[in-house]
Structure 1
Amino acid sequence: MTLDKIYQNRNLVALYDALNPAGADTAFYEKMAQDADSVLDIGCGTGLLTARLAQLGKDVTGVDPATEMLAIARQRPAGARVNWHQGDAGSLSLGRKFDLVIMTGHVFQVFQSDQDALAALTTAFHHLAPGGKLVFESRNPEIRGWQDWIPEKTRKTVTVADIGDVTIEHDLQSVAGEYVSFETRHYFPGKAKPNVLTSHSTLRFMDRDTIANLLATAGFDTVTWRGTWQGDPAQDDSPELIAIAVRA
């Protein structure tokens, strides 16, 4: 799996927290972790949730393939309490079990093939103790949310320390079956005109049946579905497909 530019460029990574602050999804995952002593966060990114769980007294391991993301994660309050590990979800082998495995921030959608998605789910399964849970989310393709990924509807400006005001906008490029490709333009302050950095991304929008089949193949036989961060059951018009899968 090739990392998007946004996860590798230091200036783009610096924007990540400003664009993705703690919200209802953070509260949802904190609630899911209440009864877990140990947590594995696959695709932990800059570690916002990972470090928060460590502050709550959990034994937490955060895994991400991006060096720049982990550099920020390690500097967080409580970052020293987290076991940070640079690695890929498909080949991870930590030699221990966890009560809870999470994949947040729609990271599951970056896996472009069944092979990559199944490898990540199988990794999660093998790192779970019996009775442990895997929790992750994917945007519901029935909503067709990508239709709003155009500059006029996505443009926003955030203020970043040591950088200044940065304007970001998404621009939908193509939709091919499950695959949605888009361009993100970042306008950084410049002396004469903004310095523009552009990243290109493709996300896979799997339906619930496809995800359920992959979970079953990975070994999970019990899955509960939620459709919102408030915990409502998943419906056809739910914005999210949140899977709570249990290792028997």
Structure 2
Amino acid sequence: MLSEHDNLEEYRDPVNYDLEFGGEIEKYNFYLELAKSNPGEVLELACGTGLTTIPLSQSGINITGVDISSTMLEYARIKAKDLSAIFLEGDARTFKSEKRFSMIYLTGNAFQAFLSDEDQSCLLKTVYMHLKPNGIFAFETRNPMGADLSSEEETTWGEFIDMDGFLVKVSGTQSYDERNHIMHWVTFRDWGYKKSTSRIACRFTDNNTLKSMLTSHGFCIENQYSDWDNTPFTTLSSSIITVCRKKEQK
């Protein structure tokens, strides 16, 4: 059975990962403003190299980042330097801490890395357990109704400049497992003098299922957006950005 561990080969090169995927200022600001409006300690699950964790820490947020990849965390700690941000190695499905947080979030569509009902349930139980009463939980995920889920041969996806100044061309294939709602992407990166291949699997969850799952795990949805500028979510939006609050059990 597929698990979160099967996605790790995409995260072998943290420096170039940041150069390819960093710089999403609007996203960082979204989570920063959310944290400011819910004062207290913040937890980011699946934090990677701290692309979002570090800007929040730089803005004075007391934040802890947890990730399953020791390689990504090592680079996060180097980047954090003298910041107060704490980085811990752990699996979001089984993570345990004595701390309780005012806000917990995942970003980078990390929610989609949890590839089964059981994985998603374990994640949500972790979040619920570690949130303070009335705490905020936020994350984004691609919307299957607004996505192209067809299988595709290799197509051009983009390019970036790597740590040594080389232009890297990025392309890939996709194959959708409709039965399990899992997209399998294969990414090819071409430096001109070398090439790399990595694979990643992401589960697509429709919004009705998402809402039902959150409710059954003790969360009340406050807002859903389609973009980081708080544009309201619609059926065909490409993203579902969900902000919900922990309900106390009676």
Per the normalisation by structure 2, the TM-score is: 0.88
How has the CA–CA distance of structure 1 residues 112 and 211 changed in structure 2, closer, same or farther, with 3 Å as cutoff?
Answer: same
Q: What is the Cα deviation at residue 153 of structure 1?
A: 4.2
* Larger displacement relative to structure 2 (232-241 or 174-183): 174-183
Residue of structure 2 in register with 1:162 after alignment: 164
| Correspondences of 1:26-105 after superposition (within 5 Å) | 26-35=28-37, 36-78=39-81, 80-105=83-108
Q: Deviations over 1:205-236 (max 9, x none)?
A: 10111111221222113442122211122111
Residue identity in the other structure for 1:239: S
Residue identity in the other structure for 1:210: T
Q: What is the Cα deviation at residue 170 of structure 1?
A: 2.0
| Correspondences of 1:216-227 after superposition (within 5 Å) | 216-227=215-226
**CA distance, structure 1, for counterparts of residue 223 and residue 111 of structure 2:** 17
3-state SS, counterpart of residue 237 of structure 2: coil
Q: What is the Cα deviation at residue 169 of structure 1?
A: 1.2
3-state SS, counterpart of residue 221 of structure 1: strand
**CA distance, structure 1, for counterparts of residue 178 and residue 114 of structure 2:** 15
Per the normalisation by structure 1, the TM-score is: 0.89
Q: What is the Cα deviation at residue 98 of structure 1?
A: 0.7
| 2:41–2:62 contact (8 Å) kept in structure 1 | yes
3-state SS, counterpart of residue 241 of structure 1: strand
Residue identity in the other structure for 2:21: N
3-state SS, counterpart of residue 17 of structure 1: helix
| 1:41–1:103 contact (8 Å) kept in structure 2 | yes
**CA distance, structure 2, for counterparts of residue 33 and residue 150 of structure 1:** 41
How has the CA–CA distance of structure 1 residues 3 and 66 changed in structure 2, closer, same or farther, with 3 Å as cutoff?
Answer: farther
3-state SS, counterpart of residue 48 of structure 2: coil
How has the CA–CA distance of structure 1 residues 92 and 151 changed in structure 2, closer, same or farther, with 3 Å as cutoff?
Answer: same
**CA distance, structure 1, for counterparts of residue 8 and residue 126 of structure 2:** 25
Aligned residues: CA RMSD: 2.0
1:123 equivalent to 2:126? Answer: yes
Residue identity in the other structure for 2:23: A
Structure 2: tracts of 5 or more residues without a match: none
**CA distance, structure 1, for counterparts of residue 118 and residue 229 of structure 2:** 31
* Larger displacement relative to structure 2 (14-23 or 88-97): 14-23
Q: What is the Cα deviation at residue 5 of structure 1?
A: 4.0
* Larger displacement relative to structure 2 (143-152 or 41-50): 143-152
| 1:138–1:241 contact (8 Å) kept in structure 2 | yes
Q: What is the Cα deviation at residue 174 of structure 1?
A: 3.4
Provide runs of 4+ in structure 1 moved above 6 Å.
none
Figure out how many residues of one structure are paired with residues of the other and give that number.
241
Q: What is the Cα deviation at residue 151 of structure 1?
A: 4.2
3-state SS, counterpart of residue 48 of structure 1: coil
| 2:94–2:122 contact (8 Å) kept in structure 1 | yes
**CA distance, structure 2, for counterparts of residue 27 and residue 125 of structure 1:** 24
Residue identity in the other structure for 2:216: T
Report sequence identity in percent: 26
Q: What is the Cα deviation at residue 77 of structure 1?
A: 4.0
| 1:140–1:239 contact (8 Å) kept in structure 2 | yes
Q: What is the Cα deviation at residue 14 of structure 1?
A: 2.6
**CA distance, structure 1, for counterparts of residue 82 and residue 75 of structure 2:** 9
**CA distance, structure 2, for counterparts of residue 37 and residue 7 of structure 1:** 33
Q: Deviations over 1:104-135 (max 9, x none)?
A: 00000011101101111111111111111000
3-state SS, counterpart of residue 140 of structure 2: strand
Residue of structure 2 in register with 1:247 after alignment: 246
